Amino acid sequence: MCKAAQARRLAVRSEVACLVVTVIVVLFHAVVVSHKRIYYLAHLAPWFALCVGIFVRDVLDWIGSLRRAQMPRARLAFVAAVALIALAGAGYALQLANQYRDYLTRVRNPDLASFEEFKAVIRSIIPEEVCPVAVKNPSVWLAFPEKDDCFATIERRTKNDLDIDGKEYALVTRPNFSLDRAAKDEDAEQPRLEGYHLLGEMRETAYGTLMIYYTGSDPRYQNLPTKRYQFYGETRGHDIVQNR
């Protein structure tokens, strides 16, 4: 009995320690790296999973104790708890099956937008000799794997060190910012681009609307017609809106 009590106290101390560490980890991420919560969420998930696992184990231990308890109606409570668990498990399994059925239906949809279509269009806009860079959109690299030696994604922390003026770059960005290259805005998340030649516009792609600017000084590229394409969001297909 003494050993059982010691084991229980040790288990309680372990559970409290796990809870304390989880709280510390959450507070650290909230205070220090909350601006990157999406990227660091993976570091929090294991601690939440441990807490949930401990809770589930304690609940199952409590339900198991009802079976051995001598209290009135303990057996009935045990049966009711097992029935509720079975019902919850069946409901979860049903929802999980429906989720994966919907997922497979969408993935196999022949009208679903493909990255290959996106890749073909963006590569037709950006000249072969120009290096693509993107503003907060690192997935653009997947369309130019051979440009790995020069491709970059521009973030808030690197915008003040941006050195693309007059360089042979095609800058892929979004249209929701002011185009005034002459002025500086220390609070802006994206570089100001007025004066650069607009190579192309890709409207309403599966990755949003993208604007592509040539930042160099080669007249061959500065005089290229602007290509504009209209996509259909998550549905495949696109139209040429205007090339001028």
DSSP 18-63: HHHHHHHHHHHHHHTSGGGHHHHHHHHHHHHHHHHHHHHHHHHHHH
Mean pLDDT of 65-78: 80
The neighbour count for residue 87, using CB atoms within 10 Å, is 10
Q: What is the pTM of this model?
A: 0.61
Average pLDDT score over the chain: 82
Domain spans in the chain, listed from the N-terminal domain onward: 2-107, 115-243
Query: In sequence order, which residues have a C-beta less than 8 Å from that of residue 212 and are 6 or more positions away?
Result: 122, 125, 126, 170, 171, 172, 173, 198, 199, 200, 201, 202
pLDDT at 186: 43
Mean pLDDT of 178-187: 41
Mean pLDDT of 41-52: 87
Residue 47 has pLDDT above 70, yes or no: yes
pLDDT-derived band of residue 58, with 50, 70 and 90 as boundaries?
confident
What's 230's DSSP letter? E
Mean pLDDT of 76-105: 91
